[in-house]
């Protein structure tokens, strides 16, 4: 499991997994592997963890946290946790827990 802060040094790795070309490009094998993106949000007053479609950069919000399942990539399998700059304290605290729970339940 890798944890990534929105403006941290490893944010480029997370964004590259989503296919954003303004950062270092991912390997061709990671582009072909299916990915799943999940949003962790408490904007409604309750914490929700829901799949986001499509799993690309346009789905990201700096006000939430996200879990990206890129574990189907045989070359570099990973589950990423991304915390947006404007994420609430609860989202920040829960992001890694939700990422770990997802990892244990799905892989």
pTM confidence score:
0.70
Question: Residue 69 in contact with residue 82, Cβ under 8 Å?
Answer: no
CA atoms of 67 and 25, how far apart (whole Å): 20
Cβ–Cβ contacts within 10 Å for residue 83, how many? Answer: 22
* Residue scoring higher pLDDT (1 or 63): 63
pLDDT in tens, 58-82: 899 999 999 999 888 877 888 999 9
Q: Is residue 5's pLDDT more than 90?
A: no
* Residue 91 confidence (pLDDT): 97
The answer for 74, left when phi > 0, alpha when psi is -120 to 50, beta otherwise, is alpha
Q: Is residue 106's pLDDT more than 80?
A: yes
Which residues are paired to 80 by β-bridges?
A: 2, 68
């Amino acid at each position: 499991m890798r944890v990534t802060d929105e403006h941290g040094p490893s944010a480029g790795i997370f964004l590259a997994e989503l296919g954003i070309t303004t950062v270092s490009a991912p390997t061709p094998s990671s582009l072909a592997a299916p990915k799943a993106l999940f949003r962790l949000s408490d904007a409604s007053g309750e914490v929700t963890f829901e799949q986001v479609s499509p799993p690309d950069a346009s789905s990201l919000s700096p006000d939430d946290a996200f879990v990206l399942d890129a574990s189907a990539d045989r070359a570099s399998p990973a589950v990423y946790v991304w915390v947006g700059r404007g994420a609430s304290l609860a989202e920040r605290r829960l992001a890694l827990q939700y990422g770990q729970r997802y990892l244990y339940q799905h892989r």
